[in-house]
Amino acid sequence: MASTPRDRTGSLGEYRRRRDFQRTPEPTGGAPAGPGRGLAFCVQKHLASHLHYDVRLEWRGVLLSWAVPKGPSLDPRTRRLAMRVEDHPYDYGGFEGVIPEGYGAGIVLLWDRGTWTPDRPDVDDALARGELKFSLSGVKLKGSWVLVRTRRDERGWLLIKHADEWSSPEIDIAAVAPMSVTSGRDFAGILAAEDRDIWHSDRSAPAKGGTAGAMLREIIAEAARRRAGAPRPRRQRR
Ligand code: MN
């Protein structure tokens, strides 16, 4: 898609600068489908140096992106820290897989996706003011939400669910619905689907210490068990 003043695809420089596309399976950047469909949103559960959820909203040809360490909460009383990160290409919204090395190395699970609608049409103005109200129509996340910028930090926002028929103070949505919305897989399933051992040892794994490191070690072991028990991919057979 040609870059026009109305689109933001010129903002993908930072996304591209951080990646070596010879070494990562992530998209280089593709254009949205034609008009007449809703604006896309997705949430990607990303186990990298730390576990977080990347919330992405399509706007002017790219995905506005926030990294939410604890993931979305359906409880209106819970404010979840959401760090604004660089715009991602539109076609990143379909990505699920293993990033073997480099920036964001780890496993990406497509946790939810659907369409979003801003409450007011001028999204750029809402971003500039630091308060973006919108509704989601996903598989796991629905109804009314807001992203509010904190005063302390340009990149620091809060993701909050508004009280409505889709809010719930009890349901921990990340815990009750942990699997990929497209493949039905968990992290170990996504890793096991790779043809080869991406990380041969703990030392080569992207997360080493802390909670994420411990999680990743378990996932690597579980993926190896599943791979040993499952038939090899057909193309590798004689
Ligand atoms: Mn991420």
Query: How many whole angstroms separate alpha carbon 215 and alpha carbon 219?
Result: 6
Give pLDDT, residue 69: 97
Average pLDDT over residues 133-149: 98
Distance 238 CA to ligand 1 centre (A): 39
What is the pLDDT at residue 232? 59
Rounded to two decimals, the pTM is 0.89
Between 153 and 232, the higher pLDDT residue: 153
Name the nearest CA neighbour of 50 among 68, 65, 66, 63: 68
Please check the confidence at residue 160 and state whether its pLDDT lies above 90.
yes
pLDDT beyond 80 at 128: yes
| C-alpha of residue 237 to centroid of ligand 1, in Å | 35
Q: How far is the CA of 229 from the centre of ligand 1 (A)?
A: 31
Compute, in angstroms, the gap from residue 235 CA to the centroid of ligand 1. 32
Cross-strand pairs, 25: none
Question: Comparing C-alpha atoms, which of 35, 40, 32 is closest to residue 1?
Answer: 32
Check pLDDT > 50 for residue 2.
Answer: no
Q: What is the pLDDT of residue 231?
A: 62
Q: Which residue has the higher pLDDT, 63 or 235?
A: 63
More confident residue, 42 or 153: 42
Rg (CA), the chain: 18
Report how far residue 164's alpha carbon sits from residue 175's, in angstroms, rounded to the nearest whole number: 21
- Reported as a single tens digit per residue, the pLDDT across 89-121 is 999 999 999 999 899 999 999 999 999 999 999
pLDDT at residue 165 above 60? yes
Query: Would you list the DSSP string of 65-119?
Result: EEEETT---S-TT-EEEEEEEEEEEGGGGG--EEE-SSTT-EEEEEEEEEEEEES
C-alpha 96 to ligand 1 mean position (Å): 12
Cα of 16 vs centre of ligand 1, distance in Å, is 14
The average pLDDT across 120-126 equals 95
Between residues 66 and 200, the one the model is more confident about: 66
pLDDT the model gives residue 135: 98
Q: Flag whether pLDDT at 24 surpasses 60.
A: yes
